[in-house]
Chains A and B, each alone.
Chain A
Amino acid sequence: MSTTTTPEVRTRRSAPSYQGFIARHAATTPTYAAVLILLVLLAGAETFLPGNFLSPGNLSALLLDNAYLLVLAVGMTFVILTAGIDLSVGSVMAFTGVLGAQLLAQGTPAVVAVPAMLLAGGAIGLLIGVLVQYFHVQPFIASLGGLFLARGLAFVVSLQSIKVEEPTVLWLQQTRIRLDGWYITPTGIIALLAVAFAALVLHLTRFGRTVYAIGGNEGSARLMGLAVARTKVTAYVISGLCGGLAGLLLTAYSGAGYPRNGIGTELDAIAAVVIGGTLLTGGRGYVLGSLVGVLVFGTIKTIISFMGAEQSWMQIIIGGLLLLFIVVQRAIVARSERQR
């Protein structure tokens, strides 16, 4: 078609070498590190703790006890990948939990109450997203507004704990699908489904790739003609929905809605996501990493209670682990900057 000669391009084809492999997979390194830490923790606990730590029952309980946190971490991953943050999730979980419990206590059928919980969570996420996207409020501050709102609303719904007697909700927790000492509850299945669904969305849809593009360089994403505004708002809505879903799981788990639930849980969720290898600067990370992060979190918690140590160690150890990961991430980033 064209007769013009173009000078032959002398771009080296990066041969599939060891270096190329490392370059391609640099983004997954922190996640593998998290897997390694998890394995070391599990092996260490099995070796040094009295009794049988790696029993099917124990490991099954890990998922059961942390299902709500896993769901929160899934939502948080979306937001952090866009280089945002959502401080509201712990409070949203408390609010939707107590809202659901109240609705159920008033005789509202579960088919209405459960969607209402999700909607309430999604609405707070939407509010945060709109503030971030359309009013250029920093995610930190916008979600702080969400935190205040949700926490206050939780107390508006009820100042006390509300017991849940609705059989469907309790079924989510009490049903044990067993296999050889292993078991899983519907809450655990829901949490795992959330992970799988999120992983598919992030990897295989244009929406998911736009999330990564925004985290990589938001200005570029906009100039590339991607739907930045819609995607960012949606990320916060997803986080809010996950907050609502976590509210359901926690209500099922504890058999009650309590407005003081989840104080500081947003920090646990952020810690789990970071430990799972997602960079807080956005654009790099995996939702499966967040699953690993939550498991690390849960394992440490279990180890502490196994040792009979005080739970205050939990906060210190998670803080320390968070520090370790942050410093390592910082070193990786600094190194890649030097190489450029």
Chain B
Amino acid sequence: MTGILRHRLFWPSAALVLLIVVNSVARPKFLTTTMRDGQLYGALVDVLRGSAPLMLVALGMTIVIATRGIDLSVGAIMAVSGAVALTIIDGSGDPENVGTVLVAVLVAVLVALVLGVWNGFLVSVLGIQPIIATLVLMLAGRGVALLITGGFITTVNSAPFAYIASGYLTLLPFAFFVSVAAIVAIALVERRTALGVLTEAVGVNPEASRLAGVRRRGIVWGAYVVSGVLAGLAGVIYASNIKAADANAAGLFIELYAILAVVLGGTSLNGGKFSIAGTVIGVLIIQTLESTILFLGVPSAESPVFFAFVVVAVVVIQSPRVRGALRSLTASRRRDVAEPTTAEVAP
């Protein structure tokens, strides 16, 4: 077991630990967590809370990527679900009512589900390339969100709604529990049932899976639905955080960060084997890096430069060329262990 962990998640984990260490040395306050009124505060807690929307989106993206797909529309779906939720609360006349907020959230997630169904239909039934199929909604989705909000940034004052992003459930932020719940749910469904391995089979070799009787269409379709639903939830959290529905800014570039998180976590964009734990680590790396950049006093608008370097570094390290060079380097040093053990990638 430890061998497996070392192999697949060693580098992502090491990167995360390194980031945390660098942060703790550079700003001792980073690790400091204070307790006020039974609630924890501090930079680490902020990372956990702030990562919720990205975590949800990245989890869905992991499943979609495992099927050899990609979902570019997640940001647009976030914008739509935020717009739907806020429009319902805004129009209800009783924004403080918990029931209203629940209905709004439910409807928003349902709409996101429908959008996921649409993506899945294009990919699994019509057989359109995933990049293209989801590009359609990526383009059109924000337009829909703008239409829902009437072109304005809808804002509401609703304590129950604000609770979703900023409230605390005992010690930690509520949003953190939402992402933990999503991680656990996805991990259980994928790994305790056969869904995970069937998804991987479809991602590695679609034709072999079809001939083996795997219901490819259902599995691929389902992946987009899950991605849509999680993006919908993420949209609600985002909207709750800024207490507004901003169709242009909600989830902007999140598809790119989510893909980056998945890749950082060691899941190949070619589909197949995926790692939920890897994605979780990937998200935390991104969020910690974001926090670091802010701490360094760099305007957040400039942070993409850092992520560009992360993207380049990760893809270069993962490239066959560099891997081959590294392997021959280690092989020449320890030729006797050059034979790869086939068991190291076992589940």
Report whether B129 and A281 are in contact in the complex, using a CB–CB cutoff of 8 Å. Answer: yes
Q: Check B256 for interface membership: any CB of A closer than 8 A.
A: yes
Interface residues in B271-310 (C-beta closer than 8 Å to A): 299, 301-309
Query: Across the interface, which residues of A come within 8 angstroms of B256, CB to CB?
Result: 144, 147-148
Report whether A310 and B301 are in contact in the complex, using a CB–CB cutoff of 8 Å. Answer: no
**23 A-B residue pairings within 8 Å (CB atoms):** A135-B322, A141-B259, A141-B263, A141-B269, A145-B308, A147-B308, A152-B302, A152-B303, A156-B302, A156-B305, A259-B301, A263-B252, A267-B139, A280-B129, A310-B147, A310-B151, A316-B144, A319-B139, A322-B132, A323-B122, A327-B126, A330-B126, A330-B128
Known A141-B315, A312-B143, A319-B139; 18 more pairs at CB < 8 Å = A135-B316, A144-B256, A144-B259, A145-B312, A147-B308, A148-B305, A149-B309, A152-B306, A155-B304, A267-B138, A271-B139, A274-B132, A312-B146, A315-B141, A319-B143, A323-B136, A330-B127, A330-B128
Q: Is the interface of A mostly helix, strand, loop or mixed?
A: helix
Query: Across the interface, which residues of B come within 8 angstroms of A314, CB to CB?
Result: 143
By beta carbon, the residue of chain B nearest A270 is B135
By beta carbon, the residue of chain B nearest A147 is B256
Interface residues in A129-170 (C-beta closer than 8 Å to B): 131, 134-138, 140-142, 144-149, 151-153, 155-156, 159
How far is B21's CA from A28's CA once the two chains are assembled, in angstroms?
58
Name the distance in Å between A328's Cβ and chain B's nearest Cβ: 11
How far is B306's CA from A156's CA once the two chains are assembled, in angstroms?
11
Q: Check B347 for interface membership: any CB of A closer than 8 A.
A: no
Q: Check B133 for interface membership: any CB of A closer than 8 A.
A: yes
Name the distance in Å between A203's Cβ and chain B's nearest Cβ: 26
Q: Check A228 for interface membership: any CB of B closer than 8 A.
A: no
By beta carbon, the residue of chain A nearest B313 is A145
By beta carbon, the residue of chain B nearest A319 is B140
A318-B140, A323-B136 known; A131 vs B146 contact (CB < 8 Å) = no
**Contact pattern, A 286-305, Cβ under 8 Å of B = 1, otherwise 0:** 00000000000000000000
How far is B146's CA from A263's CA once the two chains are assembled, in angstroms?
16
Residues of chain B at interface, number, CB under 8 A: 47
**Contact pattern, A 305-334, Cβ under 8 Å of B = 1, otherwise 0:** 000001011111011101100110010001
List the count of A-B residue pairs having beta carbons below 8 Å apart: 132
The answer, among B128, B131, B301, B308, for a CB contact under 8 Å with A85, is B131
Report whether A146 and B151 are in contact in the complex, using a CB–CB cutoff of 8 Å. Answer: no
B residues with CB within 8 A of A: 70, 122, 126-129, 131-133, 135-144, 146-147, 151, 247, 252, 256, 259-260, 263, 269, 299, 301-309, 311-312, 315-316, 319-322
How far is B301's CA from A263's CA once the two chains are assembled, in angstroms?
13
